[in-house]
């Protein structure tokens, strides 16, 4: 695609402004099923992956803005053709879309702002071709198997996704930005046998670098898989619940495609603007605090953080660390340039647009994780993974099945599986204690465990 | 050659070129099997969200995936460039690293055919102007936000879409234009710090879906307010009557995912041990079928070029069937180990850039052949239970046979009468065989409501649908 030609056509289109977002690079994916099984037959080793996939990334998205009668509209399209006729039709379509909208006007970002450097590229990924990545993935799989150190542990599958691309943004206001990045995701399922029963645990490891994939975690997940063979459905419980591992990360910084939390909903500037956020600047995030108060920072500068970046691809806003909740009180909202203008100085908090939610940084607390697990006469329920953590982001209501966890009661510990964790996200934070041990995982940095004193588990 | 005028011009030209790519890989390079898939979406969204309007084209996901099989592994090349010279050069380069494997599998390309398919629609979903599309959205927003001052926000999206897929192998040249129209409506109500939402959607093939039932939007608004003042439910085990939306998601999570043959082949589904065995009551019959007209999970052929011809029966009168949902790889891996296994049209990709997996299409409970129980009769038998309505989420557990379903609301049933109290939102769990064994009443009519999307694990989103009749069973509710 000739970007100069596209700029010329966009500039002559009659639109008030334009923006061109580009992405160039490559993807690779490897879907490995080490053995195939069917009851009554011998397992068969598969010598090669099911599918090896190489992708070429080369995309352009054009946005046109139109001001009309004190109103404003914008329309964006991913360009799939390259001919002049195609581009002319696309521009006409976008203009028609932009002119049909009656939104309040806002000012587009001007050039000349400064941007931080952010480390989000893995030289190892960049330097390897498809065959080289195939070799690296094979080594990764062997390390995962070796980490389990138990012949009863098997990998059901390993799916590896690698992306190596450069994103860019050009606008009619002179903004010209470009940023390379890499990303790797490893989704896998561990099987473990116990007295003829097979248990599983599925997990995804994510990072910007191959070296961030902590294959040692396979050992932990293999234990969860084995415990799943005899884990019991929990008994009804009302009291302390500790979230750790994937359950904790899902609670604060879900990394799946469905990822959203009540915090990201109510800290979203567009929801403040539309009246569908209950948060206000200077107000607490819950009615009272009987435990430690939460501090939450959106941090785009974390080295090799999954959501680290120098600028927002939406509009070029420089990404900066911003404290959204400070010691339990709301101090800022997430804003694009458009929403920043709409909210005005009284409602928006920080003195600059923040861009979207970046990595989630939660302040640690006073006690080490092991002290948060103390049962102190009544049982403590520990949740390590949910089947799917999908709270109602508006009300904060949570009804989530426990996929993996344990009950600690005095010196007794036993695994649990099933039952529903029931409570309210905001009310849970009224009496919470954050561990003093920090962990970093994907887009999360914060305590390794959080103890909520008043939650329910519905079980037997 | 079939009539293909409904396809964009560049796709019409590309279609005739696809067999050349296959021929090059198979004949010039002597590779055992090659196929090409093209994905392309052309559509327009009118969206009102956060008190602002947007009218913009739907992301195109437009590109070509060339797949070469060496006898053991599928190698796929994905590119968004569709010009012939580039494609031929890219395939030439890609084939360089692939050599046929001795003793590998052979792939049957299927009966030779050249066909084009298009879903029927009264008014093509792309035939209206952006202003008309936005007009539909504004009208719904006005009704929702004007219903009551407590409704503080509305999100409405009207999407018109042509979801085009083209496939070629040595014997097949197929194309399909799945026309989709979809209106999503969501309202948010607020009273101080208390907040609740409600949503509904209508899905079909053409712009005619915008002729909404006049009661629909007021009903969405009214339920939003009822959700706002919903009461907490006492967690526990209940007799539940599930609406069609909920029975569909139960089918999807219970024995949809568990019957995906790639999950079975990698040892992660307990269903493998239960072929021919009882997994539910006599009233449990579950099928998957992409050929139901007008559902969000409908298509004419899979992304591996397998034509949709008939429903795949997964559970028949409580007995698990060997007719799993297969992609080519899992079919090859299991065909000599599972008598009765067939290659089914379930090998699907999210788009040209994503891997292929065995995926569901439209998954549903069937009514009993002798006719089901009417809704009133089903409710009348319940002394103390719940009516569960409108699915919002679900999660599978094919090996552990756990189950998590989420619903927008529950209403109490006491001595055969549905009460006024509303509980919102609702979570349901259970052990799959226990839940299916407890099914003691199934309604007479299949309803496939709205649209759906399914992730395999947490990714690879494909459009699906699910449904069935009302049914009654026992589940843990919270």
The yes-or-no verdict on residue B27 having pLDDT over 60 is yes
Last residue of a domain, one of A227, A260, A282: A227
Cβ contacts (< 8 Å) between A49 and chain B: which residues?
A: 73
Determine the average pLDDT of the residues in A330-347: 94
A166 has a pLDDT exceeding 60: yes
Of residues A443, A422, A403, A416, the one with CA closest to residue A203: A403
Distance CA A32, CA A42 (A): 19
Taking CB atoms and an 8 Å limit, are A38 and B334 in contact across chains? yes
Q: What span, in angstroms and rounded, lies between the C-alpha atoms of B235 and A382?
A: 20
Contact criterion met (CB < 8 Å) for A131 and B131: no
Q: CA of B46, closest CA in chain A: separation in Å?
A: 9
- Is residue A124 a part of any domain in this protein? yes
* Spatial distance between the Cα atoms of A129 and B51, rounded to a whole number of angstroms: 47
Report whether B56 contacts A75 (CB < 8 A).
Answer: yes
Of all residues in chain B, the percent with pLDDT exceeding 90 is: 91
Q: B456 pLDDT exceeds 90?
A: no
> CB A392 to CB B478 under 8 A?
no
- How much is the pLDDT for A271? 95
Mean of all residue pLDDT scores within chain B: 95
Q: How far is B444 from chain A (nearest CA, A)?
A: 31
Q: What integer pLDDT is reported at residue B306 of this predicted model? A: 98
pLDDT for position B460: 82
Asked if residues B403 and B435 have their Cβ atoms less than 8 Å apart, the reply is yes
A48 and A196 in one domain? yes
**pLDDT for residue B457:** 60
Tell me which residue in B59, B425, B429 faces A392 most closely, judged by beta carbons: B425
* Residues of chain A positioned with their CB less than 8 A from the CB of B55: 73, 75, 97-98, 100-101
pLDDT at A257: 58
Which of B65, B355, B357, B358 best tests the A interface by mutation, with the highest count of A CBs <10 A?
B355
Cβ pair B461, B454 in contact under 8 A: yes
Residue B263 pLDDT:
95
Asked whether residue A208 falls in the same domain as residue A248, the answer is no
Instruction: Give residue B352's pLDDT.
Output: 96
Band of residue A100 on the pLDDT scale cut at 50, 70, 90? very high
CATH number, domain at A62? 3.30.2290.10
Mean pLDDT of chain A: 94
- Do A157 and B62 make contact, defined as CB atoms within 8 angstroms? no
- Report CB contact under 8 Å: B395, A59: no
| Band (A206; pLDDT cuts 50, 70, 90) | very high
| The dihedral sign for the CA sequence A323, A325, A331, A337 | positive
> Which of A202, A227, A252 is the endpoint of a domain?
A227
Q: What angle do CA A8, A10, A15 make, to 5 degrees?
A: 135
Give the DSSP H or E segment for A372: helix A369-372
B185 touches B203 (CB < 8 A): no
In whole angstroms, what is the distance from residue A456 CA to residue B15 CA?
58
pLDDT score for A151: 85
The domain in which residue A219 lies consists of 3-227
Residue A413 falls within a domain, yes or no? yes
Cβ contacts (< 8 Å) between B40 and chain A: which residues? 80
What's residue A83's pLDDT? 84
Q: Which residues, 6+ apart, have CB-to-CB distance to B215 below 8 Å? A: none
Tell me the nearest-neighbour CA distance from A260 into chain B, angstroms: 13
CB within 8 Å: B397 and A403:
yes
Q: Taking CB atoms and an 8 Å cutoff, what residues of chain A touch B395?
A: 387-388, 401
Most A-contacting residue of B44, B52, B54, B72 (CB-CB within 10 A), to test interface:
B52
Position B458 pLDDT exceeds 60 = no
Rounded to whole angstroms, the Cα distance separating B172 from B109 reads: 7
Looking at the partner chain, which of B51, B262, B427 has a beta carbon nearest the beta carbon of A400?
B427
Query: A377 in a domain, yes or no?
Result: yes
Residue A259 has pLDDT above 90, yes or no: no
Which class does domain B9-228 fall in?
alpha beta
Q: Which residues of A touch B80 (CB under 8 A)?
A: 56-59, 80
Does pLDDT of A171 surpass 80?
A: yes
- CA geometry: angle at B59 spanning B57 and B61, to 5°? 140
Give the Cα separation of B400 and A360 in Å (integer). Answer: 32
pLDDT band at A258 (very low <50, low <70, confident <90, very high): low
What contacts B402, CB < 8 A, 6 or more positions away? A387, A401, A403, A417, A418, B429, B430, B431, B432
- Residues B255-298: pLDDT tens digits? 999 999 999 999 999 999 999 999 999 999 999 999 998 899 99
Write the pLDDT tens digit of every residue in A138-158. 999 899 988 877 888 999 999
B159/chain A closest Cα distance in angstroms: 14
Rounded to a whole number, what is the distance in Å from the CA of A154 to chain B's nearest CA? Answer: 10
Start-to-end CA span in chain A (Å): 61
Does position B451 have pLDDT exceeding 90, yes or no?
no
Strand partners for B64: B38, B79
Cα separation, B98 vs B100, in Å, equals 7
Burial of B22 (0-12, 13-18, 19+ CB in 10 A): buried
Which residue of B258, B400, B426 is the best one to mutate when testing the A interface, meaning the one whose CB has the most A CBs within 10 A? Answer: B400
Backbone angles phi, psi at A385, to 5 degrees: -155, 140
Cβ–Cβ below 8 Å for A52 and B268: no
CA distance B374 to chain A (A): 31
Comparing CB atoms, the residue among A77, A82, A390 nearest residue B56 is A77
pLDDT at residue A134 is higher than 70: yes
DSSP codes of every residue in B8-20? -HHHHHHHHHHHH
Q: Residue A46 falls within a domain, yes or no?
A: yes
Mean pLDDT of B424-453: 94
> Has residue A82 got a pLDDT over 80?
no
> Is position A334 within any domain?
yes
Using CA atoms, how far residue A269 sits from A276, A284, B193, in Å, is: 10, 17, 17
B469 Cα to chain A: minimum distance (Å): 26
Beta bridge pairs of residue A247: none
Whether residues B457 and A204 touch (CB distance < 8 A) is answered with yes
Instruction: Look at B78 and A43 and tell me if their CB atoms are within 8 Å.
Output: no
CB contact under 8 A, A56 and B78: yes
Q: Are residues A152 and A280 in the same domain?
A: no
A34 and A93 assigned to the same domain = yes
* Interface contact flag, A236 B265, Cβ < 8 Å: no
User: What radius of gyration, in Å, describes the C-alpha atoms of chain A?
Assistant: 25
Indicate the number of domains in chain A: 2
Q: Which residues of B touch A129 (CB under 8 A)?
A: none
Residue A398: name the closest of A318, A319, A455, A337 by CA.
A455
- Which helix (H) or strand (E) covers residue A426, if one does? helix A425-428
**Biggest alpha carbon distance in chain B?**
74
> Could you tell me if A111 and A221 lie in one domain?
yes
- Which among A73, A93, A420 has the least Cβ separation from residue B57? A93
CA distance A432 to A362: 13
Tell whether the model's pLDDT for residue B246 goes beyond 70. Answer: yes
Q: What are phi and psi of B429, to 5 degrees?
A: -135, 170
**Residue partners of B56: CB distance under 8 A and separation at least 6:** A74, A75, A76, A77, A94, A97, B44, B45, B47
Contact (CB<8Å) A75/B55: yes
Nearest by CB to A204, from B264, B402, B458: name it: B458
- Interface mutation target, options A279, A399, A403, A415, chain B, most CBs of B under 10 Å: A399
Query: Does some domain include residue A136?
Result: yes
The least confident of A403-407, B19-23, B313-317, B451-455 is B451-455
Name the helix (H) or strand (E) containing B39: strand B33-49
- Is there a contact between A80 and A93 (Cβ–Cβ < 8 Å)? no
Residues of A in Cβ contact (< 8 Å) with B57: 75-78, 93-94, 97
Contact list, B268 vs chain A (CB under 8 Å): 156-157, 189, 191, 200
Contacts of B73 in chain A (CB under 8 A): 48-52
Measure in Å the smallest separation between the Cα of B38 and chain A Cα atoms.
13
Would A217 be classed as within a structural domain?
yes
What tokens does A73 get? 């509209």
Chain B residues touching A54 at Cβ < 8 A: 75-78, 94
pLDDT of residue A346: 87
- CA B324 to chain A, closest CA, distance in angstroms equals 13
CA distance A323 to chain B (A): 22
Residues 6+ apart with CB under 8 A from A279: A266, A267, A272, A285, A330, A333
CA-only gyration radius of chain B, Å: 24
A223 & A258 share domain: no
For residues B217 and A267, what is the distance between their CA atoms, to the nearest angstrom?
A: 28
Interface test with B, best of A193, A458, A459 (most B CBs within 10 A): A458
Give the model's confidence band at B9: pLDDT under 50 very low, under 70 low, under 90 confident, else very high: confident
Q: Which residues of chain B form CATH 3.30.2290.10?
A: 9-228
Together in a domain, A220 and A298: no
B195: which chain A residues are within 8 Å (Cβ-Cβ)?
Answer: 276, 278, 394-395
Question: How many CB atoms neighbour CB A351 within 10 A?
Answer: 8
Interchain contact, B266 vs A93, CB within 8 Å: no
Q: How many CB pairs under 8 A join A and B?
A: 257
Residue A232: inside a domain, yes or no?
A: no
Q: Which of A38, A97, A392 sits opposite B130 (nearest CB)?
A: A97
């Amino acid at each position: 695609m000739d970007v100069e030609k596209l700029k010329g056509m966009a500039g002559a289109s009659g639109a008030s402004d334009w923006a061109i977002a580009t992405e160039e690079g490559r993807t690779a994916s490897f879907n490995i099923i080490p053995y195939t099984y069917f009851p009554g037959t011998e397992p068969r080793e598969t010598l090669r992956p099911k599918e090896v996939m190489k992708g070429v990334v080369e995309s352009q998205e054009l946005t046109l803005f139109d001001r009309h009668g004190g109103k404003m509209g914008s329309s964006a399209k991913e360009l799939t053709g390259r001919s002049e006729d195609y581009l002319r039709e696309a521009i006409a379509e976008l203009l028609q879309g932009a002119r049909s909208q009656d939104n309040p006007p806002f000012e587009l970002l001007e050039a000349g702002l400064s941007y931080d450097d952010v480390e989000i590229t893995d030289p190892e990924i960049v330097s390897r071709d498809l065959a080289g990545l195939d070799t690296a993935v094979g080594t990764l799989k062997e390390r995962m198997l070796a980490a389990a150190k138990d012949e009863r542990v098997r990998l059901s599958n390993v799916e590896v996704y690698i992306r190596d691309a450069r994103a860019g943004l050009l606008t009619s206001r002179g903004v010209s930005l470009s940023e390379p990045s890499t990303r790797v995701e490893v989704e896998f399922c561990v099987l473990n046998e116990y007295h003829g029963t097979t248990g599983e645990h599925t997990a995804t490891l994510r990072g910007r670098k191959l070296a961030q994939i902590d294959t040692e975690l396979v050992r932990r997940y293999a234990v969860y898989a084995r415990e799943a063979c005899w884990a019991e459905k929990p008994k009804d419980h009302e009291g302390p619940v500790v979230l750790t591992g994937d359950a904790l990360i899902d609670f604060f910084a879900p990394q799946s495609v469905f990822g959203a939390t009540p915090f990201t909903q109510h800290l979203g500037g567009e929801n403040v603007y539309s009246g569908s956020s209950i948060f206000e600047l200077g107000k607490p995030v819950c009615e009272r605090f009987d435990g430690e108060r939460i501090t939450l920072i959106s941090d785009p500068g974390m080295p090799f953080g999954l959501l680290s970046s120098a600028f927002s691809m939406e509009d070029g806003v420089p990404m900066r660390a911003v404290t959204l909740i400070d010691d339990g009180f709301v101090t800022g909202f997430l804003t694009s340039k458009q929403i920043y203008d709409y909210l005005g100085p009284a409602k928006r908090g920080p003195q600059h647009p923040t861009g979207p939610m970046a990595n989630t940084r939660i302040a640690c607390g006073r006690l080490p994780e092991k002290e948060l697990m103390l049962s102190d006469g009544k049982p403590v329920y520990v949740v390590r993974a949910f089947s799917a953590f999908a709270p109602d982001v508006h009300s904060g209501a949570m009804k989530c099945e426990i996929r993996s966890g344990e009950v600690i009661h005095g010196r007794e510990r036993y695994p649990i599986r099933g039952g529903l964790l029931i409570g309210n996200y905001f009310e849970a934070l009224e009496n919470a204690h954050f561990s003093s041990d920090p962990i970093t995982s994907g887009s999360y940095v914060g305590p390794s465990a959080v103890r909520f004193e008043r939650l329910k588990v519905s079980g037997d | 050659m079939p009539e293909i005028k409904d396809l964009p011009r560049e796709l019409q030209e590309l279609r005739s070129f696809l067999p050349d790519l296959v021929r090059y890989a198979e004949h010039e390079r002597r590779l055992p099997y090659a196929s090409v898939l093209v994905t392309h979406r052309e559509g327009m969204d009118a969206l009102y969200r956060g008190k602002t309007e947007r009218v913009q084209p739907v992301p195109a996901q437009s590109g070509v995936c060339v797949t070469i099989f060496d006898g053991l592994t599928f190698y796929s090349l994905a590119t968004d460039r569709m010009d012939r010279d580039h494609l031929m050069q890219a395939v030439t380069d890609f084939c360089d690293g692939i050599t046929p494997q001795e003793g590998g599998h052979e792939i049957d390309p299927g009966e030779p055919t050249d066909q084009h398919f298009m879903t029927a629609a009264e008014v093509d979903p792309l035939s209206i102007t952006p202003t008309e599309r936005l007009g539909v959205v504004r009208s719904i927003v006005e009704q929702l936000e004007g219903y009551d001052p407590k409704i503080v926000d509305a999100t409405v999206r009207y999407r018109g879409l042509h979801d085009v897929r083209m496939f070629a192998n040595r014997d097949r040249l197929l194309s399909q234009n799945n026309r989709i129209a979809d209106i999503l409506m969501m309202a948010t109500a607020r009273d101080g710090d208390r907040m609740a939402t409600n949503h509904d959607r209508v899905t079909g093939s053409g712009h005619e879906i915008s002729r909404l039932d006049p009661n629909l939007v007021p009903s969405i608004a009214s339920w939003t307010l009822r959700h706002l003042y919903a009461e907490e439910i006492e967690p526990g085990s209940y007799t539940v009557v599930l609406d069609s939306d909920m029975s569909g998601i139960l089918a999807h999570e219970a024995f949809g995912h568990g019957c995906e043959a790639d999950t079975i082949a990698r040892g992660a589904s307990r269903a493998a041990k239960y072929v021919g065995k009882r997994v539910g009551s006599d009233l449990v019959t579950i099928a998957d079928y992409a050929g139901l007209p007008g559902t969000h999970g409908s298509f004419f052929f899979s992304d591996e070029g397998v034509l949709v011809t008939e429903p795949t029966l997964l559970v028949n009168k409580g007995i698990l069937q060997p007719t799993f949902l297969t992609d080519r790889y899992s079919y090859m891996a299991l065909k000599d180990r599972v008598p009765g296994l067939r290659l089914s049209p379930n090998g699907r990709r999210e788009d040209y850039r994503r891997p292929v997996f065995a995926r569901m299409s439209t998954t549903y409970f069937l009514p009993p052949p002798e006719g089901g129980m009417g809704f009133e009769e089903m409710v009348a038998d319940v002394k103390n239970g719940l009516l569960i309505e409108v699915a919002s989420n679900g999660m599978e557990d094919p090996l552990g046979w756990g189950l998590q379903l989420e619903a927008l609301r529950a209403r109490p049933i006491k001595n055969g009468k549905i009460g006024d109290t509303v509980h919102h939102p609702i979570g349901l769990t259970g052990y799959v065989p226990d839940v299916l064994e407890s099914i003691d009443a199934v309604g007479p009519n299949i309803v496939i409501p709205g649209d759906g999307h399914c992730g395999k694990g947490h990714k690879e989103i494909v459009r699906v649908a699910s449904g069935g009749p009302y049914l009654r069973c026992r589940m843990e509710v919270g």
